[in-house]
Amino acid sequence: MASSKPSIPKGTRDFGPEQMVRRNFIFDTIREVFSRYGYQPIETPAMENLSTLLGKYGEEGDKLLFKILNSGDFIDKADSSVFKLGNSNAASLAICEKGLRYDLTVPFARFVVQYQNDIQFPFKRYQIQPVWRADRPQKGRYREFYQCDVDVIGSNSLLNEYELVLIINEVFERLKIHTVLKLNNRKILSGIAEVIGESDKLIDITVAIDKIDKIGIEAVNSELRERGVAEQAVQKLQPIISMTGTNAEKLIVIKDVLKSSEIGMKGVAELEELFGYIESVGGLSTKVEFDLSLARGLNYYTGAIFEVKAVDVQIGSICGGGRYDDLAGIFGLKNLSGVGVSFGADRIYDVMLQQELFPESLAASTKVMFVNFGEKEAVYCLKALNRLRAAGMSAELYPDSSKMKKQLDYCNKRNIHFAVIAGENEINANQLAVKNMVTGQQELISYDNLTEFIQHNI
């Protein structure tokens, strides 16, 4: 044994057959809903040029990017002076020009700019692919995980936001996950910062009040002070962040607070319009909540902000997104507004596993297995086997003529419903013995009746 124990990198996972069936159930469900609303699939490479990725996720985000070492004699080609500065970040840029994608939104923006002349706007696309973050792993936090993004770019209409609400509702309804959809608007947050006289502290304010559920109002206040927000402004913020009531009641309060802020009032109007669609059409099973403390960290959101939490499971958000007015602007295409959300498939999986929400029927794939007695007997089974497959039933023949005990055991382990047994007696009578592995009952039927028999007894 020369080699050490095999392992995979920190924060990554292998997926066995049972897990894959369940993961595919999630992906298929999400894909089907996306497609139903008219979104089209795209894919982009796992790696992007670092210039595409850097600076899009803030300083923290840049640190979490996986960088890919250049090929060849990259040391010779690099400017060696950067290595002596002791700045690993600068050094890494001298020897890396590619990185693994951090999310699907930025590559999408790049895609849109690059193919702008071939794309029909408004462009509705979905994308289901893994992303990588050099984060420290925790429960529900992986270094490689799948995002399922839906975005529409090239339309300012709030009908798009409403459509995303419908999609979120339908996905979680189908997956039977009990969720709350939290809504906010970046313009309202800007308005608040403006009204309390701390416009330049917008990010600090939002980051702090985002934690209110977790650490409480007092801790939020002290964090605000630490971040340099004036005491007077902190006091002004109190009635806003501690407000309660229905969505409509909260909107009335916030409208009054923000009446002197143009941008704030714009945000209120947007949110009112969105809630207007939601309430007048109705029919949602997901609870929708106006939550002022919802302030996603991403720098590029400019309008609506979405976040979905599972009600019964303590895990981070399982879906999130928002509107970004100028994302493509970074890549040189101006005046293109987009809005989208991203479903976190891995966390959805964790929630469904914990709540036992996966359908039983996902377990088995093969329905019928033919026991192998030997070459002659196996050949006798082949035609019946093909007939089953042609009729759309997954069936297989055990490849080796092992002991029947072993073969039937294999059926059990794989949850195969029927075992077909054909030895000398059956061959002579042109029959097949079909054993139901659940009930244990066994029946002799004529060779040509197998497909029909299975169809009727499954």
Residue of 87, 238, 412, 430 interacting with RNA (CB under 7 A): 412
CA proximity to 388, closest of 453, 325, 324 = 453
- Local structure of residue 448 (DSSP, 8 states): G
Residues 268-297 that bind RNA (CB under 7 A): 296-297
Q: Measured from the CB atom, is 258 or 296 closer to RNA?
A: 296
Residue 153 contacts RNA per CB under 7 A: no
Residue 11 contacts RNA per CB under 7 A: yes
Q: Stretches 26-34, 207-215, 228-236, 328-336: which one binds RNA (CB under 7 A)?
A: 207-215
Q: Measured from the CB atom, is 9 or 282 closer to RNA?
A: 9
- Local structure of residue 156 (DSSP, 8 states): -
Longest Cα pair distance anywhere in the chain, in angstroms? 96
Residue 122 contacts RNA per CB under 7 A: no
How many Å apart are CA 124 and CA 35, to the nearest integer? 10
The count of chain residues that interact with RNA, using the rule CB under 7 A, is 62
How many Å apart are CA 269 and CA 454, to the nearest integer? 60
In whole angstroms, the minimum distance from the beta carbon of 129 to RNA comes to 13
Q: Stretches 67-75, 206-214, 269-277, 385-393: which one binds RNA (CB under 7 A)?
A: 206-214
Residue of 53, 381, 411, 454 interacting with RNA (CB under 7 A): 411
Those residues with Cβ within 8 angstroms of residue 315's Cβ, 6 or more apart along the chain or in another chain: 139, 140, 347, 350, 351
Amino acid at 450: L
Residue 106 contacts RNA per CB under 7 A: no
How many Å apart are CA 373 and CA 447, to the nearest integer? 17
Residue 409 contacts RNA per CB under 7 A: yes
Collect contacts of 28-35 with beta carbons under 8 A, ≥24 apart: 29/171, 29/174, 29/175, 30/128, 30/148, 30/171, 30/343, 30/345, 31/126, 31/128, 31/148, 33/167, 33/170, 33/171, 33/174, 34/126, 34/148, 34/150, 34/167, 35/126
Residue 340 contacts RNA per CB under 7 A: no
Those residues with Cβ within 8 angstroms of residue 285's Cβ, 6 or more apart along the chain or in another chain: 169, 173
Residue of 438, 443, 455, 458 interacting with RNA (CB under 7 A): 438
Q: Measured from the CB atom, is 60 or 218 closer to RNA?
A: 60
Residue of 84, 214, 334, 456 interacting with RNA (CB under 7 A): 214
Cis check for the bond before 6: say yes or no (omega within 30 of 0): no
How many Å apart are CA 382 and CA 456, to the nearest integer? 21
Residue of 48, 103, 170, 325 interacting with RNA (CB under 7 A): 103
Residues 45-64 that bind RNA (CB under 7 A): 58, 60-61, 64
In whole angstroms, the minimum distance from the beta carbon of 280 to RNA comes to 28
Burial of 341 (0-12, 13-18, 19+ CB in 10 A): buried
Q: Stretches 151-159, 160-168, 315-323, 355-363: which one binds RNA (CB under 7 A)?
A: 315-323
Residue 318 contacts RNA per CB under 7 A: yes
How many Å apart are CA 413 and CA 419, to the nearest integer? 13
Residue 363 contacts RNA per CB under 7 A: no
Residue 169 contacts RNA per CB under 7 A: no
Residue of 145, 275, 398, 418 interacting with RNA (CB under 7 A): 145
In whole angstroms, the minimum distance from the beta carbon of 333 to RNA comes to 22
Structure tokens that stand for 107 in this block: 């590559």
In whole angstroms, the minimum distance from the beta carbon of 182 to RNA comes to 11
Residue 135 contacts RNA per CB under 7 A: yes
| Per-residue mark of binding to RNA, 231-270 (x: CB under 7 A) | ----------------------------------------
Query: Could you tell me if 46 and 101 are in contact, meaning their C-beta atoms sit under 8 angstroms apart?
Result: yes
Structure tokens that stand for 202 in this block: 């917008």
In sequence order, the β-bridge partners of residue 304 are 185
Binding site for RNA (CB under 7 A): 5, 7, 9-12, 58, 60-61, 64, 103, 133, 135-143, 145, 147, 207, 211, 214, 296-298, 307, 316-320, 342, 344, 346-347, 373, 403-406, 408-409, 411-413, 421, 423-426, 433, 435-440, 442
